[in-house]
Amino acid sequence: MPARPPLTILLAAPRGFCAGVDRAIQIVELALARFGAPVYVRHEIVHNQFVVENLRRKGAIFVEELDEIPDTDAPVIFSAHGVPKAVPAAARQRKLFYLDATCPLVSKVHVEAERHHAAGNEILLIGHAGHPEVIGTMGQLPEGAVRLIETSDDARTVLPGNPERLAFITQTTLSVDDTAEIVAILKERFPAIVGPHKEDICYATTNRQAAVKSIAPRSDRVIVVGAPNSSNSLRLVEVAERAGCPKALLIQRAHEINWADFEGITTLGVTAGASAPQVLVDEIIDAFRARYDVTVESVVTANENIAFNVPRELRDDAQPRASRRVQG
């Protein structure tokens, strides 16, 4: 049997689950444990199919809109990405029992948007059209109150009604470098523009991108473990290539690996998006161990110890919820 070729895997840290994702998954699991199945979840709780399927097996039912949910006493959970104000309003109208798993850092952006609107500012939201977080943030205010800026070109051409009454907010999962470029253009064009007190791009997005930048120049290839609809995972692929890696690939599971993409490599960078669990990272590393003589080197650029509380209704000291449903 021929000797396996040597391969150094540079394992970026931080990687994988962030506090907001961890909290969202915990909310679904605690709701299932406390109230029993089914638990309804509007939109994927986080953008990872493995996580979604795991929760589905435990009794979570995923829907895109509330009108897919029958009249029920079962909990209804809003995803980590946040929802427009119309969604909880509709839930209240139907007397649904809902739990909000919106990441607190996304909620912070919602509060900023409302504060700027109340102050009479026109709001520019830097983000990606169609992403659930952007839909949720724009949905905090009346239609037309928030204008979306996706690119540097948008920043160069946008014409606000009153440049003296202008503010910007951002999606939390953007490229740090791209966003900095867009913000610089806006500030040059509109010196009076008001930004967030603290950057909107979340700590986890920033840390994961910094970690990838540290391994990319040393890597022949970089694998980002994540889903194709995960904004922060897609940004990691872009960041890796810009930072000097010849090719970065987004891979969800080990069976998706196209081994031809890795022929002749000696160093592989590995990271994971904020909604990808460690078990999928381990699965991919094991797949390489089967073909290579692997040495894993952990490259740590930051330590994270952030945690967010779950909703009051799910805490150990919560009062039992009155329900018409028979618990059995």
Query: Which residue among 64, 112, 133, 313 is the active-site one?
Result: 133
Q: What is the dihedral of CA 233, 20, 23, 273, to 10 degrees?
A: 10
Q: Which residues make Cβ contacts (< 8 Å) with residue 308, sequence separation at least 6?
A: 19, 20, 22, 23, 103, 104
**Contact, 298 vs 13, CB < 8 A?**
yes
Q: How far apart are CA 305 and CA 207, in angstroms?
A: 12
DSSP of 249-318, one letter per residue? Answer: EEESSGGG--GGGGTT-SEEEEEE-TT--HHHHHHHHHHHHTTSEEEEEEEES-------PPPGGGSTTP
Q: Is 132 strand, coil or helix?
A: helix
- Confirm whether 133 is a catalytic residue: yes
Q: How far apart are CA 42 and CA 3, in angstroms?
A: 50
* Alpha carbon of residue 182 to chain centroid: 21
**Quick one: residue 138, left, alpha or beta (phi over 0 = left, psi -120 to 50 = alpha)?**
alpha
Residues known to be catalytic: 133
